[in-house]
Amino acid sequence: MSTVDPAARIAELRRRIGEHNRAYYEDDAPIIPDADYDELVLELRRLEDEHPDLAAALPHPVLDRIGGAPSETFAPVEHRVPMMSLDNAFAVEELDAWALRLERRLEGRPVTHYACELKFDGLAISIRYEHGRLTQAATRGNGRVGEDVTANVSTITNVPKRLTGSAPAVIEARGEVFMPIATFEALNDDLRTRGERTYVNPRNTAAGSLRQKDPAITATRGLAFWAYQIGDIHGGPSFDTHHVTLDFLASLGLPVNPEMRVVTSLDDVKAYIAETHARRHDLPYEIDGAVVKVDELAQQRELGVTAKAPRWAIAYKFPPEEKTTLLRDIQVSIGGKGKATPFAVLEPVFVGGSTVGVATLHNEDQVRIKDVRPGDTVVVRKAGDVIPEVLRPVLEMRPKGLEPWVFPQTCPCPVGHPLTRDGDDAAHYCLNPTCPLQLDGWIEHFASRGAMDIEGFGERTVQLFTQHGLIGDIADIYTLDLDRVRELEGFGEISVNNLAGAIEASKRRPLANLLFGLNIRHMGGAVAELLAAAFGHLDRLAEATEDDLAAVDGVGPVIARTVAEWFADDGNRAIIEKLRAVGLNFEGPMTPDHDVEPVLAGRSVVVSGTLEGYSRDEAAAAIKARGGKSPGSVSKKTFALVVGADPGASKVTKAEEAGVPVLDEAAFGHLLATGELPE
Ligand code: IVH
């Protein structure tokens, strides 16, 4: 940066920030995440501080105008009491520094009470009531002049048109208009089904909704409001503390958020922030931090304000959950069943509290829908414990001539078997049964709990054995050279004997376990049970035609085809023969007219997203076969929501709100088998 001419950099930053201000404040359509914008502003602020002469001489200053120009659509409203902004803290040390500044200004008299609030991620509004009636609502604008959005704010259902209780002659309720997350997702779901462009985030959607020319449109958007401050006031009671002003606003019928907490030490402030951060994604609306205010109004008056913000308050901002970074490449990984999953190789970026270098892109269609291309600058999201996600490219930053990514035709392993796209889901597969990239995953799966249940045959052991050439396929487990195992580090006499015992015991597992262990695409544990019960012997199943298989209740055409194809493959047949030769049990109890128990009688189970073992129809058929229903949406009456890859976010939110259990595919298998929810 030091080699860059500061004048040129200031001009460049001013131009870019100006562009982003227009996109954000005037079009309600941000181009880059807030965190990236904040970085630009921070850099410009630093440069302008270092070079005040340049800052004054160069044209088009932007730092004093953040907040956007008042539009021409809405009449200007001059705020009688300016709507100030807040200073930010991004780390605990900055909070400490703020507290120290307070103490110094108060000449040693400590702040005894802090009011801690959520920092709502919406847009600031001032709502004026005269003699208890809503007379005007205005956006913040540049803090001095905002826009008159009275007609639109009047459509917000939790904003009272008339105050209750003893309303002063004049009172302005300052607060945040926002869009609840479920409302935002429902809106986007709707746009998606109509093939229209979706909105980027609830905050900008709320801003766009509030600035509609037609209030009837605003009325349909389900906006809501939290009051957090009094602006202008005449003829009201006098207050000593901020929290009492909030109680007063609530007594007038204004919505005040219940998460506000008055605390008596900075440590408690920090605890509030930590708790709020941890609960961030449990709230039905978005927050981007916490706001800490000195509670005593006398102290607030003493501390005063700067040109921009009150000294008595600070916004503690959570680490950003969205950042932009370079998409270096898109590569493909091969999973246990040969599934080829594209993933993004990113220029490592610190987001959501950790450094992210790779992120799944799920499948070819997702890459196409998102239209991300190697060389793009992309928006990456890492929210809480959720796996990192590439959201979208920043099209404005796409280099010219960047080609769309093409799914590779062959497996990335040295064998390079062709990858086949399955017609029914968007996934590609490597169908090479001896693919080295799949081998470890398959052996591990074969030995796992739901399959042959071989104790001690976990991921590390499998890797060790394949690396040393002790096993090359699942059947080799049964001819394992125990003397060579003894030579490996970490394998003493006892563990080798235990392993041998576990391997021997696994030979008698029922057919359903063996079938599940064969790792046949789409075949989960529940289908393995159905097939074992219907055919009773591996040989009969191996000889069955696609039609025979599809005739089994609960087995759909997709599974029928993959099972038939699997057994038709010479390599797989050879493995079956090896398993027979080492004496594995191929039989299972057979139920000729396989009747599944109606364990889900009268229950609704909703399925969302892509499951490994079932197509959507097969999952619905399996639920219905057990007497249940499988409707398309979640309600309070839903017994459980089963989620696969990429589930509908609004379904998950709805389920969580309604207290409906959310199950993964393994738990779904359990539910089908027993009718019970896992503990
Ligand atoms: S108080 C004079 N309290 O944060 C103090 N602001 O970054 C004015 N915000 O413009 C603000 N939650 O839009 C306050 N509990 C809260 C808030 C809050 C969100 C917003 C508000 C403000 C911005 C400043």
pLDDT in tens, 39-87: 898 899 999 989 989 888 888 888 865 555 556 678 999 999 999 999 9
Q: What is the pLDDT at residue 423? A: 63
CA of 119 to the centre of ligand 1 (A): 6
Does 228 sit in the ligand 1 pocket, CB within 6 Å? yes
CA atoms within 13 A on the CB side of 207: 23
CA atoms within 13 A on the CB side of 90: 8
Instruction: Say if residues 211 and 71 touch (Cβ distance below 8 Å).
Output: yes
Which atom of ligand 1 approaches the CA of 305 most closely? 2
Question: Which of 88, 291, 297 to probe ligand 1 with, by most ligand atoms within 8 A of CB?
Answer: 291
Give the DSSP H or E segment for 118.
strand 114-120
Does 316 sit in the ligand 1 pocket, CB within 6 Å? no
pTM beyond 0.75: the answer is no
Q: Say if residue 515's pLDDT is above 80.
A: yes
Q: What is the pLDDT at residue 72? A: 66
119, 317, 323, 337: which one is catalytic?
A: 119
Rounded Cα–Cα distance for residues 227 and 240 (Å): 18
Q: What is the pLDDT of residues 340-366, one digit of tens each?
A: 999 999 999 988 878 899 999 989 999
The region, left, alpha or beta by phi > 0 then psi within -120 to 50, assigned to residue 58 is: beta
H helix runs in 22-91, sequence order? 34-50, 52-57
Q: What is the pLDDT at residue 594? A: 46
Question: For the chain, what is the largest distance between any 2 Cα atoms, rounded to a whole number of angstroms?
Answer: 94
The average pLDDT across 636-652 equals 86
Rounded Cα–Cα distance for residues 653 and 282 (Å): 10
Q: What is the pLDDT at residue 591? A: 52
Q: What is the pLDDT of residues 101-116, one digit of tens each?
A: 999 999 878 899 999 9
Rounded Cα–Cα distance for residues 356 and 162 (Å): 50
Does 292 sit in the ligand 1 pocket, CB within 6 Å? no
Cα dihedral 284, 286, 288, 293, rounded to 10, equals -60
CA of 124 to the centre of ligand 1 (A): 7
- 526 exposed, middle or buried (CB, 10 Å; 0-12, 13-18, 19+)? buried
Q: What is the DSSP string of 603-650?
A: -BEEEESB-SS--HHHHHHHHHHTT-B--SS--TT-SEEEE-BS--HH
Q: What is the DSSP string of 402-452?
A: PPPP---SB-SSTT-PBEEE-SSSS-EEE--TT-HHHHHHHHHHHTSTTTT
Q: What is the pLDDT of residues 294-330, one digit of tens each?
A: 999 999 999 999 988 999 999 999 988 899 999 999 9
CA of 235 to the centre of ligand 1 (A): 25
Instruction: Say if residues 170 and 133 touch (Cβ distance below 8 Å).
Output: no
Q: What is the pLDDT at residue 568? A: 94
Q: What is the pLDDT at residue 140? A: 94
Catalytic annotation present for 308 = no
Q: What is the pLDDT of residues 551-565, one digit of tens each?
A: 988 888 889 999 999
SS3 content of the chain, % helix, strand, coil (to 5): 40, 20, 40
> Sign of the C-alpha dihedral, residues 279, 284, 290, 291?
negative
Comparing 303-312, 365-374, 670-679, the range with the smallest average pLDDT is 670-679
CA of 167 to the centre of ligand 1 (A): 24
Compute φ and ψ for 113, nearest 5 degrees: -135, 130
Q: Say if residue 424's pLDDT is above 70.
A: no
- 234 exposed, middle or buried (CB, 10 Å; 0-12, 13-18, 19+)? exposed
What is the pLDDT confidence band of residue 213, given thresholds at 50, 70 and 90? confident
Q: What is the pLDDT at residue 66? A: 52
What is the pLDDT confidence band of residue 596, given thresholds at 50, 70 and 90? low
Strand order in 605-608's β-sheet?
605-608, 640-643, 662-663
Placement of tokens 């991921």 in the chain: 459
Token pair for residue 286? 């978005």
Which atom of ligand 1 approaches the CA of 310 most closely? 2
What is the pLDDT confidence band of residue 593, given thresholds at 50, 70 and 90? very low
Let me know the angle formed at the C-alpha of 238 by 233 and 244, rounded to the nearest 5 degrees.
95
Rounded Cα–Cα distance for residues 672 and 655 (Å): 19
Q: What is the pLDDT at residue 450? A: 80
Instruction: Say if residues 351 and 320 touch (Cβ distance below 8 Å).
Output: yes
Does 229 sit in the ligand 1 pocket, CB within 6 Å? yes
Does 126 sit in the ligand 1 pocket, CB within 6 Å? no
Determine which residue's CA is closest to atom 12 belonging to ligand 1: 119
